[in-house]
Amino acid sequence: MSVLEQVGGGVRDAVRAVAMAGLRARGDLLGELMSPKMITDPYPMYRRLRESGPVVQTAMGPLTTRYAICDGLLRHPATVTGTSRRREITAGSGRVQQWLFGSPSRDGLVDPTGPESMISKNPPDHTRLRKLVSKVFTPASIGALQPRLTEIAAGLVDRARTAPSFDLMREVAGVFPVLAICEVLAIPQPDHERFRQWGSDLAADLDAMAPASKQLAANRSLAALQGYFLDLFERRRADPGDDLVSKLIAVEEEGDRLTADELLATCMLLLFAGFETTVNLIGNGTLALIRHQDQLQLLRDDHDLVPGAVEELLRFDPPIQLSSRVPTEDLELDGALLRADEPVSLMLAGANRDPAVFTDPDTLDITRANARKHLSFAAGPHHCLGAALARLEADIVFRLLLDRLSDLRLAGEPRRRPTFVLRGLTSLPLQSRS
């Protein structure tokens, strides 16, 4: 990083810190939402917001933790993604988004979902793209990966358990998902570590409050990843295999194919979205089970409960806390009037604990009948395409931890990553009897 980048980034971070402090001093809820205590435990604040009314106003616009509104906006045809509107924020609006998201034309910071991935597209373009990708990325193709992914994860767990204690994030959760993506894309083994770093850099920039240093690192990783994939595409066109990249290149629907940009965006999205979501699902889920030993014992007694446990862990402490949607017309949902063209922040993690949908929502219950109603993979047209892969990876790891390790407990204090959109751990030290 150049001196100019360091100075500019430091100024940007300082401005953000001052702005957040000012919002907190004025009692604006956005300031509280971005406070350090939210990293430790955001759920009391989500409950407070939900009890304050269907929608609360912040310096960033309307925000909701109500399940009915979050689910309704995610599914409503008269909405577009908040991501797709980031580039439309005007220079004179005075809204927090200007400094929160930055501007590619002003400071060179990029949106890591570009170029034009499914996250930022809306129907009919999104429908067309998802239809093509879904022909290749099918539940059957994901299920076929289970033996190989189990073999990879077992090697990581077995290596970790040879020591008296180990860090789950460093040795298993932070490694397995990127190896899984590399397996899906048939990335050569010598390049796996580069992919892990690229995925980490890009996912970190999804957080609106990421420091400038993280955003600049994402810029560099994005450029490197684009170059790598473009070279990979040429090699797979010349020598196609049975991997996902080769299939995406070849997929066709009534004469329609993915464009070069769409192919690039899809592969990048698979890397950083699939990687980071699963890392945090495994970390958050393991910590929740350790802190709820009764639920962990239920799993030990009956491994058939693992799929339901994965759903409940996704509900209880999801890896992605929020999303956004923009109504294209005035809408009324759950008694709230939502104005056209005004972005609404959807606190999905708060909606997952709405007592109107989930009985005793602050209790972890791996036998919960409706746990799968969670919004952790969103809902509607933009429901996460990689949800099946994330579920499979989590299922594999949790079964291995149950099979290979007994009396699983903390060996030190877990450390949370200092991010708000992505909720996860940087360290989870564990010890167990093998």
The helix or strand, by DSSP H or E, that contains position 315, with its residue range, turns out to be helix 306-316
* Among 267, 288, 343, 351, CA closest to 71: 351
- CB burial class (10 A; 0-12, 13-18, 19+) of residue 199? buried
Pairing assessment for the beta strands 429-433 and 165-167 based on DSSP bridges: antiparallel
Hey, how many other C-beta atoms are within 10 angstroms of the C-beta on 56? Answer: 18
Q: How far is CA 4 from CA 10, 11, 107, 179, 213, in A?
A: 10, 11, 12, 36, 12
pLDDT of residue 316: 99
- Number of Cα atoms under 13 Å in the Cβ half of residue 381: 23
Distance of CA 44 to the CA centre of its chain: 21
As a whole number of angstroms, the distance between CA 240 and CA 236 comes to 5
Q: Residue 263's closest CA among 274, 252, 278?
A: 252
Number of domains the chain contains: 1
pLDDT in the model for residue 37:
83
**Closest Cα to residue 405, out of 372, 383, 428, 432?**
432
**Digitized pLDDT (tens) for each residue of the chain, 434 residues in all:** 443 333 334 434 433 443 444 454 455 676 788 788 889 999 999 999 999 999 999 888 899 999 999 999 999 999 998 655 544 433 333 222 332 333 333 343 444 444 567 777 888 888 998 999 999 988 899 999 999 999 999 999 999 999 999 999 999 999 999 999 999 999 999 999 898 888 777 766 665 566 777 778 878 888 898 899 999 999 999 999 999 999 999 998 778 999 988 999 899 888 877 778 899 999 999 999 999 999 999 999 999 999 999 999 999 999 999 999 999 999 999 999 999 999 999 999 999 999 999 999 999 999 999 999 999 999 999 999 899 999 999 999 999 999 999 889 999 999 999 888 889 999 999 998 76
Cα–Cα dist 362/289, whole Å: 14
Q: What are the C-alpha distances in Å from 30 to residues 64, 102, 149, 242, 329?
A: 12, 18, 41, 48, 25
Which residues on neighbouring strands pair with residue 320, listed in sequence order?
A: 422
pLDDT value for 205: 64
pTM of the predicted model as reported, rounded to 2 decimal places:
0.86
252 lies in which domain range? 3-433
Beta-sheet strand order (sheet of 79-81): 56-58, 61-64, 344-346, 323-327, 79-81
List the CATH number of the domain containing 389. 1.10.630.10
Q: Note whether 146 and 392 are within 8 A (CB).
A: yes
End-to-end CA distance of the chain: 44
Q: Exposed, middle or buried: residue 67 (CB in 10 Å: 0-12, 13-18, 19+)?
A: buried
The pairing of strands 61-64 and 344-346 is parallel
Q: What DSSP designation does 239 have?
A: S
Task: Give the gyration radius of the chain's Cα atoms.
Answer: 21
- Which helix (H) or strand (E) covers residue 46, if one does? helix 43-52
